[in-house]
Structure 1
Amino acid sequence: MSAAAEKLHELPETPREPDGAERARLAEFAEALGVVLRLFDRELDTATVRALAEPELWAFLAGVLDDSAGREAVARLKDAVDALPETPDQAVLDRLAADYADIFLTHGHRAAPSASVWLTDDHTERGEPMFAARRWYAHWGVKVPDWRKRPDDHIVPMLQFVSLLLETASGAALVDAAVFLDTQMGPWVGNFLGRVAQRADTALYRAAAEFAGVLLSRLRAELERITGVAERIPEPPKRAASEPEAVAYVPGAAPSW
């Protein structure tokens, strides 16, 4: 944890260890993050589409996000999955793959999935936010497989790191999860998800972005309840005139997610 993070947040001297029920709840959040990670990590295939259609998955997600905004986000994602053929043909998979590429590979929707593009003056990848994320990972003994292919501050390794901390579920890990969400993801990821929810070509990725925003918001609230670490989002840097234009409000995504 950086000195800046310690100044921003009021941290407990000795983090409280979660009880059994809290650990179980956090494990559910980690499993729900796994759904987001599968959608964001790589293109969909037939097996994944079939897995997404399983009724047990939707009952589980509805149990994790059990407030009104959560139920709406789960319902929209389920509707998008239900609209897909049970066995999608190549044309359907190609359309999903093209949308995935526009979001995560080619910047086609002008919705960069990496912090550096949003937070650095030159709007390019692999800036200081990448190294900041790398320092967090190193503290917990992990690293990205190849930062040249996918930088440390890409949303996928960031969510993988949060999931790791939730699965570790020690008091220190949960405090770090709360601070990491605020300092490393809070200033930009809501803008990213909001833009995808507005601009993606397919209903599936629009709904997935909204679902991710609501899930992160609810997770952060749960971490605050357990750890006592209140949400503190750093102000994003002032941007030049080339700053990406504002996007529409996404439920669960404001002010930070």
Structure 2
Amino acid sequence: MKLVTDPNDNSNHSQIKSFLQVISDDFLMLTRLHAKEPDADFLELLVEYEFPSTMALNLVSEEGKKANQFMQRVIEMMPEQFDDEYLDTLAADFADIYLNHSLQASPLESVWIDEEKLTCQESMFQVRAWYESYGLKAENWRIRPDDDLVLQLQFISHLFSISESIKELEDIARFMDEHLLRWLGQFTSRVVHRSATPYYAGIALLTGAYCEELRDLIATITNLPRPSAEEIEERMKSNSVSQEVTMSYMPGIGPAV
């Protein structure tokens, strides 16, 4: 399938823009799920809206269906009242994954890509260059480095929100290929097998499946096949970025205009 836009067809343009916006909204939800531990109000919203069935992209792959079903069961099995003990358990699991790295499931791309498994390596500068090309900067790279999962998800949401045509999906696909999808599968697997709660295992599964299926959908829509992992690695060898670590403040949990 290949979508072709007619510049004189306003209804077609409206449909495309609507599609791009709802995918942007999906990524904002994924961002929120990874950005901080949930409070009772947020969990109540997930239950009320029967998350993840309210996600705009209906996952149809085998992995996508499994991830959806798993997360649905997590939501369905939540207690009627979210007491302090339940919230503290989720907060502790969040800290183990995203803050103290006791699960060795780092949300930073550099740790997975760098040969020495160090933070703030070349991947961070490459991602930073992407942000800067769109006039964006991380709020505080010392607290949340540019290559953090949360910032990458938020950046993709931003790209969808400002896109006007199918052609612009090519840039989104390139960012996903060169960065997020090079390591997200490893992060997902580590969280699924080591997290203490089904809640964060479900979030990891859903995020991984969603991003993979969306990337396949982009390939179908644009009629441009996904490059292999080997092709991506070869491409990245020539994309070396060297930069001073200087960033200015920008409000929000991640990249913003």
Q: How would you bin the TM-score normalised by the shorter chain?
A: 0.7 to 0.9
1:207 aligns with 2:205: no
1:22-171 alignment runs, 5 A limit? 22-55=16-49, 57-61=51-55, 64-171=58-165
Query: Structure 1 residues 224 and 161, CA, compared in 2 at 3 Å: closer, same or farther?
Result: same
How many residue pairs were aligned?
223
**Cα contact 1:178–1:229 (8 A) shared by 2:** no
Distance 1:224 1:117 in 2: 28
TM-score (norm 2): 0.79
Give the corresponding residue for 1:177. Answer: 172
Distance 1:62 1:85 in 2: 26
Provide, for residues 146-192 of structure 1, a one-character-per-residue CA deviation record: whole Å limited to 9, x for no partner.
00100000000001011111111234542111000000122211101
Secondary structure in structure 2 of the residue aligned to 1:60: coil
Range with greater deviation from structure 2 (54-63 or 205-214): 54-63
**Cα contact 1:109–1:196 (8 A) shared by 2:** yes
**What is the CA-CA distance between 1:110 and the residue it aligns to?**
0.9
Amino acid across the alignment from 2:33: L
Give the corresponding residue for 2:250. Answer: none
Secondary structure in structure 2 of the residue aligned to 1:70: helix
**Cα contact 2:23–2:57 (8 A) shared by 1:** no
Distance 1:135 1:16 in 2: 33
Distance 2:126 2:114 in 1: 13
Query: Structure 1 residues 126 and 161, CA, compared in 2 at 3 Å: closer, same or farther?
Result: same
Query: Structure 1 residues 127 and 58, CA, compared in 2 at 3 Å: closer, same or farther?
Result: closer
**Cα contact 1:130–1:153 (8 A) shared by 2:** yes
**Cα contact 1:28–1:64 (8 A) shared by 2:** no
Range with greater deviation from structure 2 (24-33 or 119-128): 24-33
TM-score (norm 1): 0.79
Query: Structure 1 residues 57 and 218, CA, compared in 2 at 3 Å: closer, same or farther?
Result: same
Give the corresponding residue for 1:235. Answer: 233
**What is the CA-CA distance between 1:228 and the residue it aligns to?**
3.2
* Sequence identity percentage: 32
Distance 2:183 2:149 in 1: 10
Distance 1:230 1:16 in 2: 23
Distance 1:69 1:129 in 2: 28
Provide, for residues 122-168 of structure 1, a one-character-per-residue CA deviation record: whole Å limited to 9, x for no partner.
21111110000000000111111000100000000001011111111
Provide, for residues 94-119 of structure 1, a one-character-per-residue CA deviation record: whole Å limited to 9, x for no partner.
11011101111111111111011111
Amino acid across the alignment from 1:191: Q
Give the corresponding residue for 1:244. Answer: none
Distance 2:172 2:187 in 1: 20
Unaligned runs of 5+ in 1: 1-14, 238-257
